[in-house]
Amino acid sequence: MIAVGWISRHARRLGRIGPCLALICLVPAAATAQHSPDIAAPVFPPPPGSARVGAGGLVLTGPVLGFDGTYLRLATPEGAVSLVYDADLCTGAACPDPKNFVPQLRLSGASRLGDLILPALIEGYARSLGHALSQEAVPGGRTAYLIEDEEGPVLALSLRRTSTEDGIADLLAEEADVALAARPMTAEEIALARDAGLGAMEAPRRARLIAFDALVPIAAPGQGLRDLTPEDLAEVLAGRITDWQDLGGAALPLTLHLGPEDDGQLQGALLALLGDGELAPDAVRHASAGAVAAAVARDAGGIGLVPFGATDPAEPLALHGGCGLQGHALPETVATADYPLTQPLALYLPARRFAPEAAAFLAWIDTPEAQMVLRRSGVAGTLPLRIPLSAQGGRLASAIAAAGPGADGVPLTELQRVMRVLGARLRLSPTFRFDSGDAQLDPLSESHLRQLAQAIRDGSYRGRRLLLAGFSDGLGDWVSNRSLSEDRARAVRDELLRLLGGGLPQGVTVQIAGLGEALPMGCSRSTLGRTASRRVELWVQEE
């Protein structure tokens, strides 16, 4: 019996696959004995036309969606169907030739990933194998890469540099195998993906976190302003602040410069800062981050937002707040996502099988070797950074200043307890975050946790004592917040143990602590500040 997945095509891509030629039918047992439903990866480019699979009895006919060397995937009026491929049972121009098959992987999405990061990873992967790499531009705005050893092609990849939105649309329409995203998928996109038979994209294994980036406000050199609050930045973006003197600068009309409307990083930052509010209608749009920075540098009244590491020749501005909010975008504040405009860079993968060679490339991205490639590309990877307590004086000073008697104050005795718990430890950059009042990890933090579990399995923490320290925002009383933060730390530990099969390897211990609102990362009066403060940090006993 063939399992059937249900697919509804993304509206903008309807008609690109073409009509099926017959209704779904039963394929002979010889062709389905090892069938695994909906797991074959599409091929780039998809073989044109349809294929007729089966011999004797009923057959299955429809356009070929993909072939991974073992499984053939067909489109039918009832959905996509995957089955073990037998060339002798397939007729039609679209039937693949297993003898000449080259595993392929199509990637499409955010230009921040596609312009530099993915090309660097592809080059690094080929180098790690000791294989040759060639590339060429192909129709459709793609770049084709071919990795070859002495016997011939090993893996063909294609990369389309576009936007997060279009990358997800390509995934929905069977025109990509992996979507490159500079922001989390929206609820609407998740629903479309589920309807398209791609699986639950909000599930941990569908989102593969590969790095963190950040957006940084910039101004013209010589403006004189060095920082501003997230609240002031939101007022600028909304068009309610229109002169530099309202930000503490000289009297000068303010001009807002931004990247293209479909920039995923910018979309994520605007959502964080404005919520459902409207962007200023007179914002000047540019084609790239480099163009934004150049325009701001030339405009004495200019202000803009660009990715971390792309601020030149403009002047980067720090973001500050009164509750310990981290000011500057630095490798450590971006890697921990403590900087308030940090954005995840992720791969979204459908719930289906990839050719082993393609799966090996995707797995390599999590390795330390690949993480070094990411750092050289100018983004903070997921390889843990070590951050001593002595380097966190700013947030400790803010916490002490805010402590004291009163209904909302954290007692000084609580801060003393924090110092006893953390004083002999180093913070590691992996940080896990939650929704308001919830102890459920978000999908990208789940991805972070899987990487931690793998590092523990690999022996990276053998003989070490790890601590999961939970924190909360400042809403509610400090006693309740301490309890909530401990629940969050326990939820992370429970999920970590589940990923490790129920227990820790010998020589590794993981403790938990609930530290409540004692070390806020942002002001609780703002959504951005509350989100930054709700977290579980990873600490390790100093050697």
Q: What confidence score (pLDDT) does residue 89 get? A: 83
**Two tokens at 520?**
């806020």
Averaged over 198-226, what is the pLDDT? 87
If we measure between CA atoms, which residue out of 256, 343, 262 comes closest to residue 292?
A: 256
Averaged over 304-315, what is the pLDDT? 92
Q: What confidence score (pLDDT) does residue 434 get? A: 76
Of 379 and 285, more confident: 285
Of 57 and 194, more confident: 194
Domains and CATH numbers, the chain: 11-96 (no CATH), 104-207 (3.40.190.10), 213-332 (3.40.190.10), 384-541 (3.30.1330.60)
**Two tokens at 190?**
């998740």
Q: What confidence score (pLDDT) does residue 56 get? A: 55
Q: What percent of the chain has pLDDT over 70?
A: 82
Give residue-wise pLDDT tens across range 3-20. 222 122 223 332 332 332
Q: What confidence score (pLDDT) does residue 54 get? A: 64
Residue 108 confidence class, pLDDT cut points 50, 70, 90: very high
Upstream peptide bond of 356 is cis (omega within 30 degrees of 0)? no
Give residue-wise pLDDT tens across range 465-495. 999 999 988 788 888 889 989 999 999 999 9
Answer for the pair 519, 400: CB distance below 8 angstroms, yes or no.
no
Residue 166 confidence class, pLDDT cut points 50, 70, 90: very high
Give residue-wise pLDDT tens across range 113-136. 998 899 999 999 999 999 999 999
Of 533 and 392, more confident: 533
Q: What confidence score (pLDDT) does residue 120 get? A: 95
DSSP for residue 226 = -
State which amino acid sits at residue 156.
A
Could you list the beta-strand ranges (E) of 206-329: 207-219, 227-228, 255-258, 284-285, 302-307, 315-316, 318-319
Give residue-wise pLDDT tens across range 351-366. 888 999 999 999 999 8
**Two tokens at 56?**
């004797």
The 3-state DSSP class for residue 413 equals helix
Q: Please, what is the Cα angle at 364 between 148 and 141, to 5 degrees?
A: 60
Average pLDDT of the chain, as a whole number: 82
Cα atoms in the Cβ-side hemisphere of radius 13 Å centred on 269: 30
Q: Please, what is the Cα angle at 446 between 445 and 450, to 5 degrees?
A: 115
- Can you tell me the distance from the alpha carbon of 421 to that of 469, in angstroms, rounded to the nearest whole number? 9
H-only helix segments in 287-352: 289-298, 331-335
DSSP for residue 159 = E
Backbone angles phi, psi at 144, to 5 degrees: -100, 135
Of 100 and 240, more confident: 240
542's CB contacts (< 8 A; 6+ apart) are 424, 425, 426
Given a cut of 80, whether residue 92 has pLDDT beyond it is yes
- Can you tell me the distance from the alpha carbon of 138 to that of 397, in angstroms, rounded to the nearest whole number? 56
Given a cut of 80, whether residue 37 has pLDDT beyond it is no
Answer for the pair 332, 180: CB distance below 8 angstroms, yes or no.
no
Upstream peptide bond of 313 is cis (omega within 30 degrees of 0)? yes
Given a cut of 60, whether residue 55 has pLDDT beyond it is no
If we measure between CA atoms, which residue out of 48, 35, 20, 347 comes closest to residue 176?
A: 347
DSSP for residue 468 = E
Of 4 and 259, more confident: 259
Q: What confidence score (pLDDT) does residue 67 get? A: 87
- Can you tell me the distance from the alpha carbon of 105 to that of 497, in angstroms, rounded to the nearest whole number? 33
Q: What percent of the chain has pLDDT over 90?
A: 40
Give residue-wise pLDDT tens across range 380-438. 888 888 888 777 666 676 667 666 655 456 788 888 888 888 888 999 999 998 765 56
Backbone angles phi, psi at 94, to 5 degrees: -85, -5
Q: b/e string for 373-392 if b means 16 or more Cβ within 10 A?
A: bbeebbbbbbbbbebebeeb
Helix (H) or strand (E) holding 253: none
Given a cut of 60, whether residue 233 has pLDDT beyond it is yes
